[in-house]
Amino acid sequence: MKNKTKKPKSKFKNLNKAGQLGLATLMISLPAVTTSNALAQPIKELKNVNVEVPTASSEASSKYAVVAGFNEKKTEVKPFGMEWGNVEDTYTISNPTEDKKGKIGILYTNVGNYEGKPLDLKITLMDWDRYINPDIKTYITFEKSEIGHSQSGYNWIDQVWEYVDHETGKPVKISGSFMTFADLDAKQYVEFSKETTDKIDKMYVSEDTWVDATQSPKGELKIGDVSSKTSNSDDKFAMVTALFDGGRMHFKWGKDYTGYPKDEANMRDGNKPLGAQFFAFSAKKPVKTELLKPAKRVSDADEKAKTENNLKVLSEKYSYEVSHTVPSEYEEFFYKSYVMSDTVPKELVVGKVEIVDETGKNVTDKFENKSNKNELAYSAKADELKKGDFYGHTYTLKIEVNVDTKADISKLLDKDGNFVIQNTARVSKDGNTKDTNPVKTKIKKLPNEIKKYILNKDHKLVEKLDLQKDENVDYVIEHHIGNGQDIKSLKLSDDLEDVLDINKDVKVYMKDSTANKATDNVAGKTAVNDKAMMTTKENAGKTKEEKAKDVKKETSVEQSKASNKTQQSSTENIDFTKGYKDITKEGTLKVDEEKEIYEWTAKDPKALQGKEIFVEVKAKVKKDAKLDKYTAQEVASIPNIADLIINDKDLRSNKVVVNKKVEKPQPPEPKPEPKPEPKPEPKPEPKPEPKPEPKPEPKPEPKPEPKPPIPNKINKFILSNEHKLVDKIDLKDENVDYVIEHQIGNEQDIKTLRLVDDLEDALDINKDVKVYMKDSTANKATDNVAGKTAVNDKAMMTTKENADKAKEEKAKDVKKETPVDQSKASNKTQQSNTENIDFTKGYKDITKEGTLKVDEEKEIYEWTAKDPKALQGKEIFVEVKAKVKKDAKLDKYTAQDVASIPNIADLIINDKDLRSNKVVVNKKVEKPQTPAPKKLPFTGIENTTKYSVIGLILIAVIGGAVALKNRRKADK
């Protein structure tokens, strides 16, 4: 920061020599005149100000760290308050009016830094007093290539120099500043206001100083020459160094013009319309400086020079900046050693390291690298410390880092759920060391998250889409890979409904953090994060009861929630050609076009930690697809799922549905017209008795097969009024009686066993829950449950099946749970409706052999076995009664006449399955209208009556045959 002042060589020949970088030089150069000041006294004799002549042991405190310096690459000069003229390399005004006082001035930007933040210098002209005649032009000038000020025609100019924040423009609260007023001769002076005088902590002068001082009754302090002597700019006896508290100085700079002519003003170089009298200050002081405190800042992609930053993802790169000012020094105060060092936390990987000065110039070659891995140390070379241009600079050690994905950062987790990395650097000079302020980097602990959308024609992400004829479906699955665990394996899979035809060209993308604004490209991201995502953290921390409630929220009949989510997520577009990287080949992709499923397995799962991964999979509805089972009727379908939890592993039951018809107001029916009386049908002739069929030969009984291992199974039923087990029931009153059948397997070591059922909120649970065990000693009790073979083969979910199934088959289980799957429910009813169940016969009440908890507010029960090993291989039944609440809101359970095709995706990490929310494609199904009843020709009798008459005839024929057979037996 060399200064380029326009000044007589005799006055400035030494002020810009090497070693004085960082100082701003401005001088007053006036003809010598002889005057006297009776009130002045030698400055060393001042009583109210601490004046010191420095010795070899003297040291200026590091409190006074700031002095302005012109940065040739960064400093801008900005006049304010009025229009300033551009004259040569200056901003100059002539004869400013009185109303401009306190409103005009100059701003010099980037003149220094404090605690790592850049500072600007704001100079405001508060007042002025001209000595020259009113008709003569005056000039006030500020330089553009240095912090320079000059004037012509004034006794003094009153001004405020204040350091302000470069970013905000507001005054900065700093500990202290200093200034060396140089070349005070020829009756030049600086007069400090009382406010500034009170903030002068100390003044340094030479032993042979000629500077005099005067303190007025009001408290102003004036320092200067009173004898009209002349000096050179590097004469220490004409200098005063003042140490100020804070960063604001208010003073008058002037000269005693007694005896000067008033009809002309001095002009620069004799004829240029610029200020000719210069003000001078220096960044050097006649005393060595205590080691200044270094500052540390941290920066990332969108946060600059902070003491605390927040990373969006674990893999985001960021940097440390260790800044330290080496003040301008006289040669006798040069350093013997100077080291900048930083111990980077072991959880970080160190990247590029360099040292730059205040202009941004790379000066790493002035230092010797003595680092060892994360122990960074850069020591100034001995020959550099002997050069004057090493001093008067601010050096910044810049360190690029990122979190090591292989490091264990679990110990860095704080109570607020953030990983916190703290760091402090240090600077040493001649054996003295000072630490920087600490900085923090926070990384929000990210859970595993998954969200599924449909991409519409406008490239908007929605959760419901009305398909047009022959329209394709484009799914987008968004995955957030968490940073709170050591990822060993990562799989992304999706099992589409069988009515869809998957396109094998599945694509996997990763959000590119370097792309412009890519982090906000997904529509409605805030709403998704806050409300619409399932997380591993949530699933891990939830009770099983809460998990069961999550299943309820996934039902396809929850139309209002789907509608709201569509609004949240359809405001922005997504385009994978911008801001995303295709990483399909960074994993192994398998697409099964027969089963309509894909699976992508990451080759390097650790590298994806903290990343956002998207899968795009296209499909279309098969032309011959059977959509009947996806079409719901105008019925409130209340689903419910029970849980069998063994060793804290959750096995969910099939879904059962209670249908309650929703009565809608109907218009009054017109009165029917009277129908003609039907004519009676003739009685049928009795048929001859059929001959008895020959008895079949008895078959040999099959040999018993060896008993297979017993898996874990669970099946849920509704107990009808006839004590029959069914999967669906049309309620005649408000009461429901559930029976949950559990088969406890014999293939594992059972440590804990819990039976749980979370009923829908529309139901009111009866706290008298009963747990029964089938009594193997009872006569034929093992076959008491209706259709047991069919249930075992077809209607039960098993732990073994779940363990052996691929995750795609688990996803298919969910499809089978839809309440509109009427055909399956009908089949199960036929299978299990041939016998009755009665817990008073062949069953043992074991409720007290476990701990039963019934929450009547949440409508949930939980039964925990006291001795789970004793139940291995047994069949356990739970009977729980409930009723539909009188004030229950059933709208969300009522589906419309629409084919609702559900689908759920899977995020599989460490072989643990996290399922997504449900998305729905609606395809309107045209239902055939029921024809009006036909009438028999010429009779007026409807078909219904016809069928009734035929039925009576058949009954009469069969009855006659039976009577005839009995009579023949009697005759024998």
pLDDT over 80 (residue 365): yes
Name which residue leads in pLDDT, 333 or 277. Answer: 333
Q: Give me the pLDDT at residue 581, please.
A: 95
Position of tokens 């070659």? 365
- Rounded CA-CA distance 311/419 in Å is 10
Mean of pLDDT values over 464-480: 82
**pLDDT attached to residue 228:** 82
pLDDT confidence of 549, banded at 50, 70, 90?
A: very low
Q: What is the pLDDT of residue 457?
A: 85
User: Are 756 and 859 found together in one domain?
Assistant: yes
CB-based contact 581:612 (threshold 8 Å): no
Q: State mean pLDDT over 415-419.
A: 91
| Secondary structure class of 819 (helix, strand, coil) | coil
Check whether 651 has a pLDDT greater than 70: no
285, 310: one domain? no
Asked whether residue 825 carries a pLDDT value surpassing 80, the answer given is no
Of 58-62, 202-206, 307-311, 518-522, least confident by mean pLDDT is: 518-522
Task: Give pLDDT, residue 819.
Answer: 43
Q: Is residue 939's pLDDT more than 50?
A: no
Q: Which two tokens stand for residue 80?
A: 């304010």
Of 289, 311, 331, the one marking the end of a domain is 289
Pair 483, 531 in one domain: yes
User: Strand 490-495 vs strand 597-602: parallel, antiparallel, or unpaired?
Assistant: antiparallel
How far is it, in rounded angstroms, from Cα 536 to Cα 523? 22
Give the CATH number for residue 373.
2.60.40.740
Residues 307 and 250 both lie in one domain: no
Q: What's the token pair of residue 64?
A: 């006074």
pLDDT band, very low/low/confident/very high, at 789 (cuts 50, 70, 90): very low
Tell me, yes or no, whether 908 lies in a domain.
no
User: What is the pLDDT averaged over residues 895-912?
Assistant: 70
Instruction: Look at residue 680 in the predicted model and tell me its pLDDT.
Output: 60
pLDDT band, residue 683 (cuts 50/70/90):
low
Q: Does 421 have pLDDT greater than 80?
A: yes
Same domain (yes/no): 111, 246: yes
Q: What are phi and psi of 66, to 5 degrees?
A: -110, 135
- Is 646 inside a domain boundary? yes
Which tops the pLDDT comparison, 21 or 645?
A: 645
pLDDT for residue 213: 96
User: What are the two backbone dihedrals, phi and then psi, of residue 803, each rounded to the nearest 5 degrees?
Assistant: -70, -35
Q: Is 397 among the domain residues?
A: yes
**Do 409 and 352 belong together in one domain?**
yes
What pLDDT is stored for residue 941 in this prediction? 47
Tokens of 411: 């110990």
User: What pLDDT is stored for residue 556 in this prediction?
Assistant: 38
The answer to which of 207-221, 848-862, 942-956 has the lowest mean pLDDT is 942-956
- The residue ranking higher by pLDDT, 643 or 889, is 889
CA distance linking residue 171 with residue 173, whole number of Å? 7
> Which of 487-491, 829-833, 844-848 is least confident?
829-833
Label residue 491 by pLDDT band (50, 70, 90). Answer: very high
CA-based nearest residue to 152, from 276, 31, 278: 276
Domain harbouring 838, CATH code: 2.60.40
Distances (CA, A) of 813 to 43, 636, 641, 741, 902: 95, 22, 13, 18, 12
- The answer to whether residues 216 and 222 touch, using CB atoms and an 8 Å cutoff, is yes
Spatial separation of the C-alpha atoms in residues 656 and 525, rounded to whole Å: 35
When divided into structural domains, the chain yields a total of 5
CA-to-CA separations, 41 to 238, 255, 285, 395, 736, in angstroms, rounded: 15, 17, 23, 42, 107
The Cα 353–Cα 350 span in angstroms is 8
User: 11: pLDDT confidence band, cut at 50, 70 and 90?
Assistant: very low
651 and 758 assigned to the same domain: yes
Q: How many residues does the structure list for the chain?
A: 972
Q: Which residue has the higher pLDDT, 773 or 728?
A: 773
What digits encode the pLDDT tens for the residues 216-252? 999 999 999 988 888 888 899 999 999 999 999 999 9
Compute the average pLDDT of residues 761-790: 69
* Whether the model pTM is above 0.75: no
Task: Using the predicted structure, report yes or no on whether residue 967 has a pLDDT greater than 50.
Answer: yes
Q: Is the pLDDT of residue 158 over 90?
A: yes
Say which residue the tokens 């003040």 belong to. Answer: 327
Whether the CB-CB separation of 374 and 345 falls below 8 Å is answered with yes
Q: In 3-state terms, what secondary structure has residue 99?
A: helix
Residue 821 scores a pLDDT above 60? no
Three-state secondary structure call for residue 529? helix
**Is residue 358 scored above 50 in pLDDT?**
yes
pLDDT digits (tens, 9 = 90+) for 949-959: 566 666 666 66
186 contacts 32 by C-beta, under 8 angstroms:
yes
Give the DSSP H/E element, type plus range, for residue 318.
strand 318-326
- The span from the CA of 191 to the CA of 604, in Å, is 71
Task: List, for residues 713-722, the tens digit of each pLDDT value.
Answer: 898 888 888 8
118 and 267 inside one domain: yes
Q: Which of 548, 540, 550, 555 is nearest to 755 (CA)?
A: 548
Q: Return the residue matching tokens 């029959």.
A: 724
Residue 221 is assigned to a structural domain of this protein: no
Tokens representing residue 755 in the block: 């039976």
State percent of the chain over pLDDT 70: 68
CA neighbor of 583 nearest in space, from 500, 483, 501, 479? 479
**Max mean pLDDT range (119-133, 307-321, 406-420):** 119-133
Phi, psi angle pair for 546, to nearest 5°: -70, -35
Show the domain range for 481.
461-626
**Position 920 in a domain:** no
Residue 787 has pLDDT above 90, yes or no: no
Q: What is the pLDDT of residue 247?
A: 96
Q: How far apart are CA 501 and CA 484, in angstroms?
A: 37
Q: Residue 969: inside a domain, yes or no?
A: yes
φ, ψ of residue 551 to 5 degrees: the values are -65, -40
Tell which residue, 5, 292, 329, 30, has the closest CA to residue 149.
Answer: 5
Nearest to 146 by CA among 29, 239, 23: 23
Whether the predicted pLDDT of 103 surpasses 90: yes
pLDDT of amino acid 655: 55
Read off the pLDDT of residues 264-300 as tens digits, 9 standing for 90 and up.
877 888 788 888 778 888 899 999 999 999 999 999 9
Contact in structure between 687 and 960 (CB atoms under 8 Å): yes
Domain boundary among 865, 894, 923: 894
The answer to whether 711 touches 745, Cβ cutoff 8 Å, is yes
Tell me which of 32-36, 264-268, 287-291, 630-634 is least confident.
32-36
Nearest-5° angle of CA 385, CA 386, CA 391?
Answer: 55
Question: What does DSSP assign to residue 567?
Answer: H
CA dist., res. 114 & res. 323, Å (int): 9
Specify which residues 772 forms β-bridges with: 845, 877
Q: What local confidence, expressed as pLDDT, does residue 499 receive?
A: 84
Separation CA 602–CA 730 (nearest Å): 49
Bigger pLDDT: 894 vs 646: 894
Q: Please, which residues have CB within 8 angstroms of residue 256's CB and are 6 or more apart in sequence?
A: 33, 35, 37, 187, 189
pLDDT, residue 532, reads: 36
Pairing relation of β-strands 117-130 and 154-165? Answer: antiparallel
20 has a pLDDT exceeding 80: no
Mean pLDDT of 744-772: 89
Same domain (yes/no): 726, 866: yes
The amino acid at 152: S
- Of 47-51, 418-422, 521-525, the one with minimum mean pLDDT is 521-525
- pLDDT tens, 514-526? 654 434 444 344 3
pLDDT at 721: 81
Across 346-360, 413-427, 779-793, least confident range: 779-793
Report yes or no on 505 lying in a domain.
Answer: yes
Q: Mean of the per-residue pLDDT values for the chain?
A: 78
Residues 6+ apart with CB under 8 A from 704: none
Mean pLDDT of the 9-19 span: 32
Q: Residue 89 above 70 pLDDT? A: yes
Greatest mean pLDDT among 361-365, 642-646, 732-736 lies in 361-365
What was the pLDDT predicted at 515?
54
450-465 per-residue burial string, b: 16 or more CB within 10 A, e: under 16? bbbbbbbeeebbbbbb
Which of 266-275, 837-846, 929-938 ranks highest by mean pLDDT?
Answer: 837-846
Which residue, among 78, 88, 142, 65, has the nearest Cα to 110 in the 3D structure? 78
Report the distance separating Cα 88 and Cα 925, nearest Å: 84
DSSP 3-state of 645: strand
How far, in Å, CA of 50 to CA of 208, rounded? 17
- Within a domain: residue 115? yes
Same domain, 742 and 880: yes
Q: Are 282 and 300 within one domain?
A: no
- Say whether pLDDT at 22 is over 60: no
Residue 761 pLDDT level (bands cut at 50, 70, 90): confident
> Strands (DSSP E) along 802-937, which ranges?
843-845, 850-855, 860-865, 875-884, 898-903, 905-909, 912-915, 919-924
Structure tokens at 225: 């020459």
Between 534 and 310, whose confidence is greater? 310
| Range 58-70 burial, b when 16+ CB lie within 10 A, else e | eebebbbbbbbbb
Spatial contact of 301 and 513, defined as CB atoms under 8 Å apart = yes
Residue bearing the bigger pLDDT, 945 or 21: 945
Based on the fold, state whether residues 356 and 250 are members of the same structural domain.
no
The pLDDT assigned to 269 comes to 81
